[in-house]
Structure 1
């Protein structure tokens, strides 16, 4: 599991995918979320702008990201 440091919360879900380089653009990030390819805390999430906070776990394509406030 990778740890992702954020300096403010909340952060929108699609931005985490984009900033971590898991997708090529914000548009692709929004699309994969809308298609149900992303889980937050083990539950499929389709809200592109879902607010992610410290302690959340984001799963995408076999990668787990633990979100931590720095």
Structure 2
């Protein structure tokens, strides 16, 4: 059985946040440019599936993974 990435909750201000913004907020990337690159390269998963849309809307409970690190959207 594969081990899952350690998960941490990241609070957002509203009902949703876009994937590129969340990657920065969660500390998974340092810049918006880096977020754009890792998303376009197919390195980011949302709820276990690769998503290449930087503007993907995330809501409470969504789990984003990148490079063995994971963050869950919380309110």
TM-score (normalizing by structure 1): 0.91
**1:10 counterpart (6, 12, 16):** 16
Bigger Rg over Cα: 2
Residue of structure 1 equivalent to 2:67: 61
How many residues align? The count is 69
Instruction: Summarize deviations over 1:21-55 as a string: whole Å, max 9, x none.
Output: 22121011011011100000000000011000001
Runs of 4 or more, structure 1, over 2 Å off, are: none
Task: Give unmatched runs, 5+ long, in structure 2.
Answer: 1-6
TM-score (normalizing by structure 2): 0.85
Task: Give unmatched runs, 5+ long, in structure 1.
Answer: none
